[in-house]
Structure 1
Amino acid sequence: MLGIVLVDHTLSDGAPLHVDITDTDKWAIRTFLAPLRAWTSPKFYGLDNIPEGAALLVGNHTLYGGIDVPLLAEEVLRTRGRIMRGLAENVLIGTPGVRHLIQRFGSVRGTRANCRALFANDDLVLVFPGGGREAVRRKNEKYVLKWDGRTGFARMAIEAGVPILPTAMIGIDDALDIVMDADHPVLKPVKAIAERLGARWELAPPLVRGVGPTAIPRPERFYFSIGEPIETKAWQDNPNIDAAAAELSLLVRKAVEEEINFLLAERDRDPGRTLWGRLRGL
C-alpha cells in the first residue's frame, strides 16, 4: 500500500499550505455571493458524501468555468466546515491579483507536488480534468466532458490512497447561449493571427447571449451534486500505475456523467428551474 507519504510542505508560488477562513471572511464571501445565489437559487445534493480527511473532488467544468464554483465552495464551507482547495489553471496563477485572491481562499497551481502536499495536509482538493478547454466549450458541447484521456488526477489519488468524489454542476450552460465559438468560420483570420503569435486559440472564449442581447445570464437555477466516494486503494496493488490510472479515470468519468444526468433529470422535473417558476411557487 502506498498511502499518503510525507512530502515537502512548501507550495509553489507562495501559496499557503494552511488556509484560515475567519468569520469575517465567511460574512464577506456570503455577502459577495448573495446576488448570484438569489439569481440562481442553487440546489445541492450529496454534500454528506464528503468524508473527513483527504479526498479528491473531480468535476465537470461548465461554461466559462468559474461562475458557479464559488457557490459550491461556499456551501461546502458553510455546511461541512471544509475548504475546497482548487487546483487552478496556470493562466490564473500567472495573473497578479487573481493569483493572490484565489490563493487567499485556498486554490493553488495545479501541480503534482502541490496536490501531494494538500493530500498530506488532509485537505479536500478540487480538480477539473477538462481544464480550460472544457470551460470554453463549443456550441455542440453542452455538459460534455473534454478530458482527452487525462489520467493525472487518478494517478495522484491512487498514489495517495485517497477517495475520489464524482462532482457535477449544471445551470450556467442553460443560462447563456453560445452565439459564436472559436471554431466559427468568421473567426478564421483572427485564429490564424493568434496562432502565429503563439496564442492558444483552442482556449478562446465563446461569445454568449443571456438576458436579451446582453451577456447577463438568465436566472436559471444552478444544480450541484457530489456522488458517493470511489475508493482508490484497490488500484494500488496494480504494478502498472499507468494502466491503473487509465482504468480508474474511465470509472470516474462514467460516475461524473451519471451525476450530470441525475442533475439534468432533477432540472427537467423542477418547477422552480426558472425565475418565473420560482416566483409562481411563492
Structure 2
Amino acid sequence: MRPQRQLCPVDLMGIEELGAERSRLLFVGNHAILGIDVPLLIRNLFEKTGIWPRPLGEHAWFSVPFVGELLAHLGGVDGTRHNCDLLMERGHNLLVYPGGAREAWKRTTDKPYALLWGETHLGFARMAVKHGYTIVPVATVGTEDVIQPCADIPIQRILTVGGYLKPPGGSVGGKAFEQGARFPLVVPKPAKAQKVYFRLMPLVRTQDFQGQESDEDLLRSLRDLTRSRLEEGISSLLEHRRSDPHRFVFQKAQDRQNQKQEAAVASVQEAAAAASKL
C-alpha cells in the first residue's frame, strides 16, 4: 500500500453527499483497469468517513489460485446473490462494480474510463431495492492514464498455460473466463504517474421501492440513473484535473529542478553584474 500511496496520491471528493449516513450503503463504481482503484478507494473512504465497504468481487477472481485467498484476506467477498443477501441482512456497507472483470480487463479498443455494463445486468439495483439500501455512485479517473493496455491476450491461453492445463469454466470460472474472454497486457507509464481522483455523486435512494425487486422496469430506471451519475462524475473529474496544478506526482520534483536552475542563472547574472562594476 505504501508504494501506491506515494505513486497514486488520492483526491476523494463529494463526501458531503453522504450527510450523516454511515450504514446500509451500496457504493457503485466504474472499474479502473486491473481494479487498481479498489484499495485506494476503500482506504481513503475509511480515513475520511470511517466507512469500510466490503467489495463484492467478480466470481472469476475467486477461481484463480491464491487470488481468491488474497481478496478474502482484504475483506473481499465472492459476489454471489446469496453472499450479498447475507451481508445486506446484517446491514454491511458494500462496494460493487457492475462492469465486473470485463470492465477491469479493458482491451486496447476500449475507451479509457468507459462503463462496460451489460444491458441485462440489474443485480445491484435488485439487491438495493430488496434490502432498502442507498446507492452511492462513486466515479474515478487517473489510473488508466498511467496503466494502459497494449495487447489483448486470450484468457484461455493464460489459464491453461498454453493448453497444458484444464481451464476453470462455467459456474467455477464465471463469465470472465468464457470462450473469447481476453486479459490485457499492460504497459505502465511512470512519467505520467498522477493523482487518482474519486467523486461521490448524489445518492440514489431505494427505500420507497422495497418489495418491488421483481419490477424490471424500476430496476432498469435505477440502474440507468446510477450509470448516468457515474458518467457525469467521470466527466467532471476529467475536467477538474485539467486545472489541478498538483495532478502529476513528479511535478514537484520538476518544479524544484526548474527553481534550482533559475536560481543558478540568477546567481551567475548577479556575479557578472557585480564584476562589471569593478
Shorter chain as denominator, the TM-score bin is 0.7 to 0.9
Distance between the aligned counterparts of 2:219 and 2:181, measured in 1?
26
Q: Does 1:133 align with 2:102?
A: yes
Spell out, residue by residue over 1:63-95, the C-alpha distance to the aligned partner (whole angstroms, 9 max, x if none): 112x12111111122222222101112122234
One of 134, 156, 174 as aligned partner of 1:163: 134
Q: 1:34 to 1:239 in 2, by over 3 A?
A: closer
Distance between the aligned counterparts of 1:158 and 1:129, measured in 2?
16
Matching residue of 2:33:
63
Counterpart residue type for residue 200 of structure 1: E
Distance between the aligned counterparts of 2:197 and 2:213, measured in 1?
39
User: Offset of 1:112 from its aligned partner?
Assistant: 1.3
Matching residue of 2:187:
209
User: Offset of 1:238 from its aligned partner?
Assistant: 5.1
Q: Secondary structure at the match of 1:230?
A: coil
Gaps of 5+ in 2: 158-162, 170-176, 257-278
Instruction: Report the structure number with the largest CA radius of gyration.
Output: 2
Matching residue of 2:274:
none
User: Offset of 1:235 from its aligned partner?
Assistant: 3.3
Q: Does 1:252 align with 2:229?
A: no
Distance between the aligned counterparts of 2:187 and 2:115, measured in 1?
22
Q: Does 1:44 align with 2:12?
A: yes
Spell out, residue by residue over 1:222-276, the C-alpha distance to the aligned partner (whole angstroms, 9 max, x if none): 1111112211123347585212111111111101111111111111111222223
Decide whether the 8 Å contact of 1:182 with 1:202 is kept in 2.
no
Q: Secondary structure at the match of 2:239?
A: helix
Matching residue of 2:237:
263
Matching residue of 2:71:
102
Distance between the aligned counterparts of 1:121 and 1:217, measured in 2?
45
Q: Secondary structure at the match of 1:181?
A: strand
Q: Please list, as runs of the form range in 1=range in 2, the aligned pairs for 1:79-98 lying within 5 A after superposition.
A: 79-98=48-67
Matching residue of 2:46:
77
User: Offset of 1:105 from its aligned partner?
Assistant: 3.0
Q: Does 1:146 align with 2:116?
A: yes
Distance between the aligned counterparts of 1:45 and 1:239, measured in 2?
31
Distance between the aligned counterparts of 2:191 and 2:87, measured in 1?
34
Counterpart residue type for residue 226 of structure 1: L
Q: Please list, as runs of the form range in 1=range in 2, the aligned pairs for 1:184-195 lying within 5 A after superposition.
A: none
Q: Secondary structure at the match of 1:169?
A: strand
Matching residue of 2:204:
230
Distance between the aligned counterparts of 1:113 and 1:232, measured in 2?
20
User: Offset of 1:56 from its aligned partner?
Assistant: 0.5
Matching residue of 2:262:
none
Matching residue of 1:179:
150
How large is the RMSD of aligned CA atoms in angstroms? 2.8
Distance between the aligned counterparts of 2:212 and 2:67, measured in 1?
40
Counterpart residue type for residue 75 of structure 1: N
User: Offset of 1:118 from its aligned partner?
Assistant: 1.4
Distance between the aligned counterparts of 1:224 and 1:254, measured in 2?
16
With normalisation by structure 1, the TM-score equals 0.75
Decide whether the 8 Å contact of 2:136 with 2:202 is kept in 1.
yes
Distance between the aligned counterparts of 2:152 and 2:105, measured in 1?
8
Counterpart residue type for residue 37 of structure 1: R
Deviates more, 1:271-280 or 1:168-177: 271-280
